A and B are shown apart, each in its own frame.
Chain A
Amino acid sequence: MKINIEKIRKDFPVLHQEVNGKPLVYFDNAASTQKPKVVIDRIANYYANEHSNIHRGVHSLSAAATEEYEAARKTVQAHLNATHDHEIIFTKGTTDGINLVANGFRSILKEGDEVLISELEHHSNIVPWQMACEGTGAKLKVIPINDQGEWIMEEFHNLLSDRTKLVAVNHVSNALGTINPVEEVIHAAHSKNIPVLLDGAQATPHMGVNVQDLDCEFYALSGHKLFGPTGIGVLYGKEDWLNKLPPYQGGGDMIKSVSFEKTTYNELPFKFEAGTPNIAGVLGLKSAIDYVTAIGLDVIAEYEQELLEYGTEKLSQIEGSKIYGTAKNKASVISFLLEGIHPYDTGTILDKLGIAVRTGHHCTEPIMTRFGIPGTVRASFAFYNTKEEIDKLYDGILRVKKMFG
């Protein structure tokens, strides 16, 4: 099946506007994706006609909202192919999900233990583990990367030891686009009975994820990178592991009974969903998942690879441009620099041309340190982008070069 780009673009109201007098070219999808009208309408309709607090209400509105909320959980379960719907925890986003697990691991980690992450991680998969290590005396170990932006697997195997209590790595790199060999990592970790957490923030917008096939213990993702609302995310966890971890936050909904002497925690998934959740966000996320599923994640992946190849070829033609992240397996992200031109300067002029890219360290300072650069310019494509837009980026870069040359 081929993607119907004209029809798809009509689904995204935000794309049809001018920025600085030029038609918007939105290439900042790795930071956040735009929302199709079905998602926007779903949220508006919920607040206009369906809003009520969920779970304990006896009245009809509450019961209906609860039903919708729990139906969304089943949609996510099916989307990730989780075994049980109670393995799906709604969070604020990937960062929140990772913090939930990191907080839980404070009761597991001891002095001398190690948590293994990689040089490719987003700060949100570094800092929570540093905090957990600080509190427990455990050590953080880091899988290094090669010049292409790929994990050095030999080093990974050497770093994996009896001291390793968890491997926490990203599925796809946000800064470089590398699709990491997580299957090999999970297999090796499991051979030593070590659990694995995957940061799926950048993978889920580009590919179908099957947590049973992957067999990872935890998988965290963000709704807003998956064409859904901000402030909503998902943490998948294997049932036994979620039962093993202590609650993250205390409050309503996560308890069975409360007295001043003793509180009994609720069962999964409610144990990890304290307080009134982001109901509208959950319903919006369901619509977003339904939307991408209807297009087909395979279709999306194929089209985005086409954009990636086209963009890589165009940018490589530009003299003095250098692409950072040249892994064999890549998602549709191109991080680059123009020789002698600061990324901030490039980004500022591209913005004036209506082209939205991201500049800077992309919350991955260790990667920038690794390559000895202040940051990059990152163009990240979604399935609503086109080759014509990539041509505009190409022309824009030529203009930048002329201005700063």
Chain B
Amino acid sequence: MTIKERQDELIEEFSMFDDWMEKYEYIIDLGKDVEGISDDLKSDDYIVQGCQSRVWLIPSKEGEQLHFQADSDAIITKGIVGMVVRVLSNATADEILKADLYFVEKIGLKEHLSPTRSNGLVSMIKKIKTYALAYLAKAI
């Protein structure tokens, strides 16, 4: 699946829900399903800078494809970072850098894009794009 297809899939999953409560319950469920990262791997190198909850993102590669593991100490954030990882994992660095991410807005979670939510999506996406750049520069 492409990044676009994975986004569309998420949008469809969320289209079942009518109100915010159901959406958040689903994000919480997604958060609980995220495998997470074991404590010994949670180093500062992988932390996504934010002031509210802590978020970690670890990259790995398989051929040209990049994969990401994610974790957070807050469940909602974990659900959100889980969605980001689901969309952007199994893609090439080039695809990641060129990706147009529209799923958050379509799902109706635009508030998480605001810069005041400093552990929000913007910094997670930025971190993943930085990893993609690092891959192209052969730094990972």
Residues of A participating in the B interface, judged by any CB pair closer than 8 Å: 20, 341-345, 348-349, 352, 359-361, 374-375, 403-404
- B53 contacts which chain A residues (CB < 8 A)? 342, 344-345, 374
8 pairs across A/B with beta carbons < 8 Å? Answer: A342-B53, A342-B73, A343-B52, A360-B51, A374-B73, A375-B52, A404-B28, A404-B75
Q: Give per-residue flags for B103-120: 1 if the beta carbon is below 8 A from chain A beta carbons, else 0.
A: 000000000000000010
The residue in B25, B28, B52 that gathers the most chain A C-beta atoms within 10 A of its C-beta is B52
- A341 contacts which chain B residues (CB < 8 A)? 75
Whole-angstrom distance between the Cβ of B29 and the nearest chain A Cβ: 10
Distance of A338 Cα from B119 Cα, bound (Å): 21
Q: Is the CB of B20 within 8 A of A344?
A: no
Q: Give per-residue flags for B24-38: 1 if the beta carbon is below 8 A from chain A beta carbons, else 0.
A: 110010000000000
Q: Is the CB of A345 within 8 A of B76?
A: yes
Distance of A344 Cα from B20 Cα, bound (Å): 17
Beyond A348-B24, A352-B21, 18 additional pairs, beta carbon < 8 A: A341-B75, A342-B53, A342-B75, A342-B77, A343-B74, A344-B52, A344-B76, A344-B77, A345-B75, A345-B77, A352-B24, A359-B52, A360-B52, A374-B53, A374-B54, A374-B73, A375-B52, A403-B24
The residue in A344, A352, A359, A403 that gathers the most chain B C-beta atoms within 10 A of its C-beta is A344
Q: Is the CB of B24 within 8 A of A342?
A: no
Distance of A359 Cα from B75 Cα, bound (Å): 15
Q: Is the CB of A403 within 8 A of B25?
A: yes
- B119 contacts which chain A residues (CB < 8 A)? 344
Distance of A359 Cα from B76 Cα, bound (Å): 14
Distance of A404 Cα from B28 Cα, bound (Å): 7
Residues in B52-76 with C-beta less than 8 Å from chain A: 52-54, 73-76
- Number of contact residues on B: which range applies? 10 to 19
Residues of B participating in the A interface, judged by any CB pair closer than 8 Å: 20-21, 24-25, 28, 51-54, 73-77, 119
Distance of A20 Cα from B73 Cα, bound (Å): 25
- B52 contacts which chain A residues (CB < 8 A)? 343-344, 359-360, 375
| CB-based closest 9 A-B pairs | A342-B74, A344-B74, A344-B53, A344-B52, A345-B74, A345-B76, A360-B52, A345-B75, A348-B76
Distance of A341 Cα from B76 Cα, bound (Å): 10
Which B residue sits closest to A348, measured CB to CB?
B76
- A374 contacts which chain B residues (CB < 8 A)? 53-54, 73
Whole-angstrom distance between the Cβ of B53 and the nearest chain A Cβ: 4
Whole-angstrom distance between the Cβ of A337 and the nearest chain B Cβ: 12
Distance of A361 Cα from B51 Cα, bound (Å): 8
Distance of A361 Cα from B24 Cα, bound (Å): 24
Distance of A349 Cα from B75 Cα, bound (Å): 12
Which B residue sits closest to A340, measured CB to CB?
B75
Distance of A341 Cα from B75 Cα, bound (Å): 8
Distance of A374 Cα from B73 Cα, bound (Å): 9
Q: Is the CB of B24 within 8 A of A349?
A: yes
Distance of A345 Cα from B32 Cα, bound (Å): 13
Whole-angstrom distance between the Cβ of A97 and the nearest chain B Cβ: 25
Distance of A165 Cα from B96 Cα, bound (Å): 57
Whole-angstrom distance between the Cβ of A404 and the nearest chain B Cβ: 6
Whole-angstrom distance between the Cβ of B120 and the nearest chain A Cβ: 11
- B25 contacts which chain A residues (CB < 8 A)? 403
- A342 contacts which chain B residues (CB < 8 A)? 53, 73-75, 77
Q: Is the CB of B20 within 8 A of A20?
A: yes
- B54 contacts which chain A residues (CB < 8 A)? 374
Whole-angstrom distance between the Cβ of B33 and the nearest chain A Cβ: 14
The residue in A348, A352, A361, A375 that gathers the most chain B C-beta atoms within 10 A of its C-beta is A348
- A345 contacts which chain B residues (CB < 8 A)? 53, 74-77
Whole-angstrom distance between the Cβ of B57 and the nearest chain A Cβ: 17
Distance of A345 Cα from B76 Cα, bound (Å): 6
Distance of A341 Cα from B77 Cα, bound (Å): 12
Whole-angstrom distance between the Cβ of B115 and the nearest chain A Cβ: 16
Distance of A384 Cα from B4 Cα, bound (Å): 49
Distance of A200 Cα from B38 Cα, bound (Å): 44
Whole-angstrom distance between the Cβ of A24 and the nearest chain B Cβ: 16
